[in-house]
């Protein structure tokens, strides 16, 4: 358990907005032996926020067990700059420092950024704006999404991409960059999640995001400009090892049902999993258009082909269009990446639809040989209803993993 040793600087600058006024944002800068860059970074951050940020703010320097002159520098900054305070903990750990400050914050939004300010500060307002408006619950800077500009060495680039790919493959994460030191959350959401986050160090961010996703919360992503600090204190291989251990621990909690948190899911009122309330109507519209197109094509092909062949051809053609439309509009996947794989998986879903509709037509003709065209169409509608339900389940759980409202595209 972390212990606060001391605190410098007052909470009364600003102490928080009156009701109906602008929202207060608290920015935490967790530091451990950052004497070299702390003063310049905090002055730069304060100058930027004071000059351009449209909301009241507080900067909290959270020193976690530094052994150099970091704490003296933090105290001096708290005395010098209005709206800056410093807290010191006697144990090391970025997650521990963030937990301590965020848990006791009276701000509306809590955020943090690394002491080296590797991320361009122009991304800060886009980061917190969706939280202040209530559109999203958490927000993260991403170096791995479209629009980001990153300067860093190949080793860290490869490790970062492999780590985030592993998160997506093993734990079905939908956010693109778990490790960027540029994140924010609505305070009540952060304070509800924190008791369920076990890590106190570098895996803290990842565990918090996975917990939020698991509980149906919206995560907004902002592409950032980011320049690697060549003097970074992160021990890459040790951190990677600890992250893998953290992933294994979270996976066990997920499998045993112990990864919940006392937060209201966005779709809880409808009794639906996260994102489904938005996806279902879009999927239904696309499904209706696809069904109409398939039936029209079936009737047209029926003039030259038998019922089974006409059904198969019309299904193949409309399935390609259906998969492409659901990819873009229902599940929010854009760009060419993975398009061929999605179509291949969509064709497997098509085979299920083909089996259902073909079986329905075969059963119809076995029971009533020479059934009229209208009865064939009705049989197809019934079979397509079952196939559509199965296809939605496959698309959501397999072809396109569920996407939160604020997730990356």
Predicted local distance difference test score (pLDDT) of residue 17: 42
Known catalytic membership, residue 50: no
Angle (CA) 239-243-249 rounded to 5° is 145
Q: Which two tokens stand for residue 135?
A: 């559109």
Picking from 180, 188, 265, 175, the residue whose alpha carbon sits closest to that of residue 221 is: 175
Q: Which two tokens stand for residue 2?
A: 């972390």
Predicted local distance difference test score (pLDDT) of residue 311: 83
* Residues paired with 142 in a beta bridge: 223
Question: Mind spelling out the 3-state secondary structure of the chain?
Answer: CCCEEEEECCCCCCCCCCCCCCCCEEEEEEECCCHHHHHHHHHHHHHHHHHHCCCCEEEEEEEECCCCCHHHHHHHHHHHCCCEEEEEECCCCHHHHHHHHHHCCCCCEEEEECCCCCECHHHHHHHHHHHHCCCCCEEEEECCCCCCEEECCHHHHHHHHHHHHHHHHHHCCCCCCCCCCEEEEEHHHHHHHHHHCCCCCCCHHHHHHHHHHHCCCCEEEEECEEECCCCCCCCHHHHHHHHHHHHHHHHHHHHCCCCCCCCCCCCHHHCCCCCHHHHHHHHHHHHHHHHHHHHHHHHHHCCCCCHHHHHHHHHHHHHHHHHHHHHHHHCCCCCCCCHHHHHHHHHHHHHHHHHHHHHHHHHHHHHCCCCCHHHHHHHHHHHHHHHHHHHHHHHHHHHCCCCCCCCCC
Angle (CA) 163-165-166 rounded to 5° is 65
Cβ-contact 365, 380 below 8 angstroms: no
User: Tokens 């076995």 appear where?
Assistant: 366
Burial (CB < 10 A; 0-12, 13-18, 19+), residue 110, is buried
Tell me which of 63, 114, 205, 243 is the catalytic residue. Answer: 205
Cβ-contact 131, 220 below 8 angstroms: yes
Cα–chain center distance at 103: 22
Q: Say whether pTM exceeds 0.85.
A: no
Angle (CA) 335-338-341 rounded to 5° is 140
Each residue of 385-408: pLDDT tens digit?
667 777 777 787 778 764 443 333
CA 346 to CA 119: how far, in whole Å? 39
Set out the domains of the chain in order of their start, with CATH numbers.
4-264 (3.90.550.10), 270-399 (no CATH)
Predicted local distance difference test score (pLDDT) of residue 221: 96
Cβ-contact 217, 405 below 8 angstroms: no
Which contacts qualify for 207-212: CB closer than 8 Å, 24 or more apart? 207/246, 207/250, 208/138, 209/138, 209/140, 209/173, 209/175, 209/178, 210/167, 210/171, 210/173, 210/250, 210/259, 211/259, 211/261, 212/137, 212/138, 212/261
User: Tokens 């075969």 appear where?
Assistant: 362
Residues of the chain whose pLDDT is less than 50? 1-2, 13, 15-20, 268-271, 402-409
Picking from 282, 206, 276, the residue whose alpha carbon sits closest to that of residue 244 is: 206
Predicted local distance difference test score (pLDDT) of residue 188: 96
Rounded to the nearest 5°, which phi and psi values hold at 110? -115, 145
């Amino acid at each position: 358990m972390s212990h606060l040793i001391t605190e410098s600087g007052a909470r009364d600058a600003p102490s928080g907005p009156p009701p109906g006024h602008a929202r207060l944002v608290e920015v935490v800068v967790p530091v451990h032996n950052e004497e070299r860059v702390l003063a310049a970074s905090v002055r730069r951050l304060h100058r930027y926020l004071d000059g351009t940020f449209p909301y009241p703010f507080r900067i909290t320097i959270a020193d976690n067990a530094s052994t150099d002159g970091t704490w003296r520098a933090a105290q001096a900054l708290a005395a010098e700059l209005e709206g800056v305070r410093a807290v010191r903990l006697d144990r090391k750990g970025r997650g521990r420092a963030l937990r301590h400050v965020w848990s006791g914050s009276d701000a509306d939004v809590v955020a943090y950024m690394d002491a080296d300010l590797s991320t361009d500060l122009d991304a800060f307002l886009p980061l917190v704006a969706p939280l202040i408006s209530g559109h999203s619950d958490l927000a993260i800077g991403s170096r791995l999404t479209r629009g980001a500009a990153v300067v860093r060495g190949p080793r860290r680039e490869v490790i970062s991409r492999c780590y985030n790919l592993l998160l997506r493959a093993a734990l079905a994460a939908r956010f693109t960059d778990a490790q960027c030191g540029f994140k924010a959350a609505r305070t009540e959401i952060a304070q509800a999640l924190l008791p369920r986050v076990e890590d106190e160090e570098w895996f803290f961010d990842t565990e918090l995001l996975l917990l939020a996703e698991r509980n149906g919360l919206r995560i907004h992503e902002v592409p950032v400009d980011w320049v690697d600090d060549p003097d970074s204190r992160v021990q890459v291989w040790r951190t990677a090892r600890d992250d893998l251990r953290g992933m294994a621990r979270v996976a066990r909690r997920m499998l045993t049902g112990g990864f919940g948190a006392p937060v209201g899911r966005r779709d809880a009122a409808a009794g639906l999993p996260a994102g489904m309330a938005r996806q279902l109507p879009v999927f239904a519209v696309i499904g209706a258009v696809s069904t109409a197109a398939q039936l029209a094509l079936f009737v047209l092909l029926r003039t030259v082909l038998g019922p089974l062949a006409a059904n198969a051809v019309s299904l193949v053609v409309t399935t390609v269009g259906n998969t492409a439309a659901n990819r873009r509009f229902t599940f929010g996947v854009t760009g060419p990446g993975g398009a061929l794989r999605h179509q291949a998986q969509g064709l497997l879903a098509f085979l299920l639809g083909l089996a259902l509709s073909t079986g329905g037509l075969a059963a119809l003709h076995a029971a009533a040989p020479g059934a009229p065209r209208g009865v064939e169409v009705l049989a197809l509608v019934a079979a397509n209803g079952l196939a559509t339900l199965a296809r939605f389940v496959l698309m959501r759980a397999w072809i396109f993993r569920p996407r939160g409202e604020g997730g990356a595209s």
